[in-house]
DNA sequence: ATAAACCTTCCCCTAAAGGGAAGGTCAAAC
DNA sequence: GTTTGACCTTCCCTTTAGGGGAAGGTTTAT
């Protein structure tokens, strides 16, 4: 298979497939005599794994490790779990931060009449420290 | 005041003060005879406004507009409110996305024993599409 | 006079993509 | 048998909100 077909099946763009190869996240593809990258079903499988991992918000650094653990049939599941737990922690931190910002913003917006007049508690709050 | 002092007071790094100037977010600073940027209390005031806005997660694009509205004493508060509401919507979307990912990840992690054995529901889930 | 602490501009790096140019290849239609 | 269009290649630029650091000029204190 050429890269375009694989991109369509895996739903990972050709651009990103090349980049993942460059970053060592997926194995280097074989080449046709004219230099086109050649892929197998297994490559599609890996790319789908990568895509799913991205959808769960893992960083490419994490995904590199996850792919390597996935392909190592003797991995200890504790290593996988550790990566996932660290990611969960980071997401929870981000969640709390966003929640706190939203609380602030909602208060401000509620108090702003939002009409033609210039008085604006939002700007007032941003101004005063 | 030189840039370093302003940076310390406003808690915005010298680097970023220069960049904000470049981006037209803050007015161009005057220069001393030797080329050093010169600042007044008012500049500190603006920088604090910018910093507060960043802490609430506004993009620099939004902040540019907010600063301009803040300095325009005739602005309609509706414009400010609109920017804030759009930002709230975006944050809420991000929040929901993170919540949904966390639900998924937590299920996976709960089912992974996380020991020396290779069986791992996390990898299984990432693998199967 | 000299050293330390400033300041200036300039360029490179981050993460995860996308855009697009310039040029080579392949297959089908004419 | 050539042309055309769709594909592929590499290379470089752009995005966001910063940070790192080099090379060189200035100011201030010793």
At what angle are helices A3-10 and A41-55 packed, to 10 degrees? 40
CA of A12 to C1' of D12 (A): 22
Separation in Å, CA A76 to CA A73, A81, B6, B120: 9, 9, 53, 8
Is A47 within 8 Å of A17 (Cβ atoms)?
yes
Average pLDDT, chain B: 94
Quick check: B129 pLDDT over 60? no
Picking from B66, B79, B122 by the largest number of A CB atoms within 10 A of its own CB, the best residue to mutate is: B122
Name the pLDDT band for A121 (thresholds 50, 70, 90).
confident
Would you state the pLDDT for residue B6?
97
pLDDT tens by residue, B109-119 = 999 988 898 88
pLDDT tens by residue, A4-53 = 999 999 999 999 999 999 999 999 999 999 999 999 999 999 999 999 99
Chain A CB contacts of B116 below 8 Å: 76-78
Give the predicted TM-score (pTM) of the model. Answer: 0.90
pLDDT tens by residue, B70-128 = 999 999 999 999 999 999 999 999 999 999 999 999 999 999 988 898 889 888 888 86
Give CB contacts under 8 A, 24+ apart, made by A96-102. A98/B57, A98/B91, A98/B94, A98/B95, A98/B98, A99/B95, A101/B56, A101/B57, A101/B91, A102/B88, A102/B91, A102/B92, A102/B95
Point out the residue nearest to C24 (C-alpha to C1').
Answer: A34
Task: Give the start-end residues of each E strand in A11-129.
Answer: 30-31, 37-38
Nearest CA in chain A to B72: A118
Residues ≥6 apart with Cβ < 8 Å to A11? A48, A51
Quick check: A129 pLDDT over 70? no
Which chain C positions come under 7 Å from a protein C-beta? 6-9, 15-20, 24-26
Point out the residue nearest to D6 (C-alpha to C1').
Answer: A4
CA angle B60, A54, A91 (to 5 degrees): 60
Q: How many CB atoms lie within 10 A of CB B29?
A: 19
């Amino acid at each position: 298979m050429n890269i375009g077909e694989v991109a369509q099946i895996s739903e990972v763009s050709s651009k990103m497939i090349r980049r993942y190869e460059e970053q060592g996240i997926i194995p280097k593809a074989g080449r046709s005599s004219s230099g086109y990258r050649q892929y197998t079903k297994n490559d599609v499988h890996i790319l789908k794994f990568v895509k799913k991992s991205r959808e769960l918000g893992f960083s490419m650094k994490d995904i590199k490790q996850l792919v390597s653990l996935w392909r190592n049939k003797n991995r200890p599941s504790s290593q996988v779990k550790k990566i996932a737990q660290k990611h969960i922690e980071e997401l929870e931190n981000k969640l709390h931060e966003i929640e706190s910002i939203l609380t602030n913003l909602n208060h401000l917006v509620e108090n702003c009449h939002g009409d033609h007049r210039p008085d604006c508690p939002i700007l007032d709050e941003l101004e005063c420290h």
